[in-house]
Amino acid sequence: MQFYVPLQPPKLQKELLDSNYQYREYLPNKSLESYVACYWTVDFHSSEQKKLHRIIPDGCADIIFDLRSSSFSKGAFVVGLMTEYEAINLTQKCSLFGIRFYSDTVYRFLRHPVSQFIGNPVFLEDIWGDEAAFMTEEIISANGISRIIEKVELKLKRFLLLNESKPNYLLQTGLQYIYATKGMISIRSLSEKLSYSERNIRRTFHKELGVSPKELSGIIRFQSLLQELYNSNQYSFTNIAIKYGYSDQPHFINNFRRYYGMSPNQVFKINSATQ
């Protein structure tokens, strides 16, 4: 899984961060890196101004804890895969801790297909019962991020020991091909590699993830080119559009706007001479 690293806007646009608005990511323990892309925090401290917090599709599902919640039973919720960006105006102080899971392995922890969490967030209590409140209380009362992650990882490892359910071969192997090709694989090629019909693959992805393999491939392709732009000091938009299979630069820019809500030049501020 190490070849797929999803990104979110606060990491790409670090100029947006300030003393009142902070976003951080933390890597999981080696034993959990096949399941967890990262842990993340969002902290907004101001009560006198607002901040736009942007979230983009990354092919992952999240468990999010509200560290300011007054209710342990309602202090955590699950969010499934996104297919469009969302921009949230932060107007009140908030502190969030999130676990970003890879969508092909998160079933080991959620006990339900990711497809059930698309749309509105679902309280963790509705999935884990009383365990959710116990874990939320432990996290909220923990002293510092290191202690929070320590408690979370103990819980996740316990889930792996207790949950012996077998992975869905078609979904897991199919996703590995999508990751490995950076989303540039057709449903026909996927069908040939998996020795399953295209119809069967579509049905499995919809049932388990709530999205089509084509949609998910588009998200992984978008995230992969984000990673390349993020790691490059200079890059031609035209060249990257061609590299990632876009028919032309306008197609690339329209697709970028769909997932991000901004143009690539607004995000990366690349000199127009390199386009």
Q: Give one DSSP letter per residue of the chain, joined into a string.
A: -TT-----HHHH-GGG--SSEEEEEEPPPGGGTTTEEEEEEEEE--SSS-EEEEE---SEEEEEEETT-S-STTSEEEE---SS-EEEEE-S-EEEEEEEEETTTTHHHHSS-GGGGSSS-EETHHHHTHHHHHHHHHHHHSSSHHHHHHHHHHHHHHHHHH--PPP-HHHHHHHHHHHHTTT---HHHHHHHHTS-HHHHHHHHHHHHSS-HHHHHHHHHHHHHHHHHHT-SS--HHHHHHHTT-SSHHHHHHHHHHHHSS-HHHHH---GGG-
Q: What is the pLDDT of residue 234?
A: 65
In tens, the pLDDT along 175-213 reads: 999 999 999 999 999 999 999 999 999 999 999 999 999
- The CATH 1.10.10.60 portion of the chain extends over 169-274
One CATH from 3.90.1150.10, 3.40.50.300, 1.10.10.60, 3.30.70.1230 for 169-274: 1.10.10.60
Mean pLDDT of 211-232: 93
In tens, the pLDDT along 8-20 reads: 999 999 899 999 9
Judge whether 210 and 118 are in contact, CB under 8 Å.
yes
In tens, the pLDDT along 93-106 reads: 999 999 999 998 99
Mean pLDDT of 51-71: 96
Burial 220-229 (b: 16+ CB within 10 A, else e): bbbbbbbbeb
Residues 6+ apart with CB under 8 A from 249: 237, 238, 241, 275
pLDDT reading at 274 higher than 90 = no
Judge whether 224 and 232 are in contact, CB under 8 Å.
no
